[in-house]
Amino acid sequence: MRRITGLVLVAGAVALLLSACNNFIPAQTLNNPLGLNGQSLTLNTISTAALGTQATTHTAVFQGSLSTTIQDPDLSQVPGWAHPNGFSTGIDAGSVVLRPGDATTLPSSLTVTRTQVSLGLTDGNGSPSLTWTDDTGATAQQLLTLTRASCGATTAAGCTYTVQAGPDLQGALEQVTLTSAQTSTLWTILGGGASQDDVSLDATVTATSTDMAVPSGTQMVITLDDAQGTLTFH
């Protein structure tokens, strides 16, 4: 009995020591951790409607997905015994194109009022996998403002919109923040198993406009920016 008690005490002491050591590891920055930087997310309109009796505000809902494969990042700077308990990254909208259309058929600006996102990450071996979902803007407004900057030579090319940060999400299309348990799964996926991992992103974006409605059949193409992520150890 004493031997078992002693082993339990030693195991507990080791766990406390490792936990304490975690506190001395600075946050680690991962470049393009989800492999989404520069990826194009194409969303199709699934509904358009006018709001209010005077129809002065128009709403459009866009939906789409993408999938890609990423390489495991270089984690050699992190001690082998370390275990992160937090991860965050922003999925930014670098640029946006609405197509087809031109200045006579597409709104001069849109306000993104809601984003619904499901992010999936799976080890190349098929397991483990991680799913993160978020519904941002169900109560918050003005996440992003899209302002028409230029239009292509043909209506097929559509118009390019600049992206201005709103008061929520620091301008990101989505701010990803994982729980400790989710971070543990992420660490297993990125740090072991297959050297390649599968990433999927499903998104629904709701936007409003006032000068004109988004025509049915319009596509929203978002060039994503996922430059850096942060791993924390305490």
3-state secondary structure the chain: CHHHHHHHHHHHHHHHHHHHHHCCCCCEEEECCCCCCCCEEEEEEEEEEEECCCCCEEEEEEEEEEEEEEECCCCCCCCCCCCCCEEEEEEEEEEEEEECCCCCCCCCEEEEEEEEEEEEEEECCCCCEEEEEEEECCCCCCCEEEEEEEECCCCCCCEEEEEEECCCHHHEEEEEEECHHHHHHHHHHHHCCCCEEEEEEEEEEEEEECCCCCCCCCEEEEEEECCEEEEECC
pLDDT of 81: 81
pLDDT, tens digit (0-9, with 9 covering 90-100), for 74-84: 887 788 788 89
pLDDT of 6: 44
pLDDT of 54: 58
Could you state, in order of their start, the residue ranges of all structural domains in the chain? Answer: 2-232
pLDDT, tens digit (0-9, with 9 covering 90-100), for 34-72: 999 999 999 999 998 876 555 689 999 999 999 999 998
pLDDT of 228: 84
pLDDT band at 193 (very low <50, low <70, confident <90, very high): confident
pLDDT, tens digit (0-9, with 9 covering 90-100), for 101-157: 999 999 999 999 889 999 999 999 999 999 999 988 766 666 789 999 999 999 999
Full-model pTM: 0.83
pLDDT of 140: 63
pLDDT of 136: 81
Mean pLDDT of the chain: 84
pLDDT of 74: 81
pLDDT of 43: 98
